[in-house]
């Protein structure tokens, strides 16, 4: 009987340690995915921002100009997101008087 309980306790400890290690590995994977997504976003947004502009990023003044332009664009993007969020918060989300309760998913009435 004591051997069975000891075996169960050891099994639970081994499983708990394995789960903790997997959680730690998952955190590292999520961080790596976040970094990869951030790098891809930065590259794509930088190239879209400079598209159609005659900026030579091989020179220091050109690189400085491109960096200023990119961060200006990025600031505008965050400002627009802030404005959209503020407008969505200020909207009246209550249903109109006389409206049916709950969302209407399908309108199957034909006239």
Statement to judge: residues 45 and 65 lie in one domain: no
Which pLDDT band, with edges at 50, 70 and 90, does 5 fall under?
A: confident
d(CA 71, CA 76): 8
Lowest mean pLDDT among 5-19, 33-47, 69-83, 96-110: 96-110
With a cut of 60, say whether residue 51 has pLDDT above it: yes
d(CA 72, CA 91): 29
Q: What is the pLDDT of residues 76-104, one digit of tens each?
A: 999 999 999 998 888 877 776 665 655 55
- Counting the structural domains of the chain, the total is 2
Domain of 16 in residue numbering reads as 1-51
Statement to judge: residues 34 and 3 lie in one domain: yes
d(CA 88, CA 75): 20
């Amino acid at each position: 009987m004591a051997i069975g309980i000891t075996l169960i306790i050891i099994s639970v400890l081994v499983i708990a340690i394995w789960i903790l290690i997997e959680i730690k590995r998952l955190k590292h994977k999520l961080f790596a995915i976040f970094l990869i997504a951030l790098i891809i976003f930065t590259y794509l947004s930088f190239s879209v921002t400079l598209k159609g502009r005659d900026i030579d990023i091989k020179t220091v003044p050109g690189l400085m100009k491109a960096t200023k332009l990119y961060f200006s664009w990025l600031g505008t993007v965050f400002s627009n997101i802030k404005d959209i969020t503020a407008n969505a918060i200020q909207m009246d989300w209550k249903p109109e008087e006389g409206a049916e309760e709950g969302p209407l998913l399908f309108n199957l009435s034909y006239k």
